[in-house]
Amino acid sequence: MNKILEELSKFGVVPVVVLNDAKDAKPLAKALCEGGLPCAEVTFRTAAAEESIRIMTTEYPDMLIGAGTVLTIENVDRAINAGAKFIVSPGFDPEIVDYCLKKDIPVLPGTVTPSEVAQGVKRGLKVLKFFPAAQYGGVSTIKAIASAYVDVKFMPTGGVNAKNLKEYLSCDKIFACGGSWMVKADLIEAGEFDKITEMTKEAVALVKEIR
């Protein structure tokens, strides 16, 4: 497996972040690092995403920062130029996947059906996002799909939280989980970075119980 993805897998949890204001990027990065989780998927759902990635990777160069909700090739370039180390998409967009593969950029495209997983397998991908996980059957669906596609692992995202994290991570087909519960936009906007650190520590402790 690619080194960046291997590193990501070790964290067990990848905080999925929506930043409305790039001024929050630095305190958020600090809060995650202090919580023991120096990684994040910064989603391209806001205009602040690119600058936030730049700030986080400059101020905390040891953090593993990727870009999420990447829907265009242009955003792949913007994210990578800003310092992102991996690309995540909600769906399987062959154009984005092929572009990333050509440029040797670790990419985690979203899948939920065997047909989408097959597209990833055909391209040699070993890790795929499973999104939205809860709505598409969670661990039980992942196990069923993984029984046919034995060399693939999944990053479930969507509905993962402190209550079900251990259930997800107990499945050996799960690479890591994506989740926003410890970095909710309202916590960020209220400047509740101590709370984010506390919830991040709790998430890390749950990962340690399983891995």
* Interacting residues with ligand 3PG (CB under 6 A): 16, 43, 68, 131, 157-160, 178-181
Question: Which one, 43 or 57, has the nearer CB to ligand 3PG?
Answer: 43
Question: Which one, 61 or 70, has the nearer CB to ligand 3PG?
Answer: 70
Catalytic residue among 30, 34, 116, 129, which?
Answer: 129
- 116/92 Cα distance (integer angstroms): 7
Annotated active-site residue 41? The verdict is yes
Annotated active-site residue 116? The verdict is no
CB of 14 to ligand 3PG, least distance (A): 9
CB of 90 to ligand 3PG, least distance (A): 6
- 78/81 Cα distance (integer angstroms): 5
Catalytic residue among 3, 23, 26, 41, which?
Answer: 41
CB of 102 to ligand 3PG, least distance (A): 25
For residue 132, say if its preceding peptide bond is cis, omega within 30 degrees of 0: yes
Q: Return the closest-CA partner of residue 177 out of 150, 136, 139, 120.
A: 139
Question: Which one, 83 or 138, has the nearer CB to ligand 3PG?
Answer: 138
Alpha carbon dihedral 186, 41, 45, 127, in 10-degree steps, equals: -130
Q: Which residues pair with 43 in a beta bridge?
A: 68
- Tokens 């996002």 belong to which residue? 129
Active site residues: 41, 129
